[in-house]
Amino acid sequence: MFNERFNPTPVIIEWFDINATDGGWHSEEDIKKHEPAKCIDLCFIYSESDDRVITYSSYNLHDDGAVEYGFITAIPTGCIRKITKL
């Protein structure tokens, strides 16, 4: 790492997301097979609470010790299947 004081642990988060159709016509068989999207994020956890986990996928360390974060995602806790620390 570039900064010993800022050393985040990477994680893999497996989670479910909404999977909507394109609005066209669909059969009952299509509806019965329709499932949420199964997502996998390789990221860092910024914070966790009862209702969400906020992650970021990149960061910028400044010489003065400030940190900027990129690719922020808020994942509802109920959508998370598994978190694995790397």
User: Mind listing the pLDDT tens digit for each residue in 15-48?
Assistant: 999 999 888 999 999 999 999 999 999 999 999 9
Q: What pLDDT band is residue 3 in, cutting at 50, 70 and 90? A: low
Global pTM reads 0.85
Q: What percent of the chain has pLDDT over 70?
A: 94
Q: Are strands 37-48 and 10-17 parallel, antiparallel or unpaired?
A: antiparallel
Residue-level pLDDT at 48:
96
Q: What pLDDT band is residue 63 in, cutting at 50, 70 and 90? A: confident
Residue-level pLDDT at 43:
97
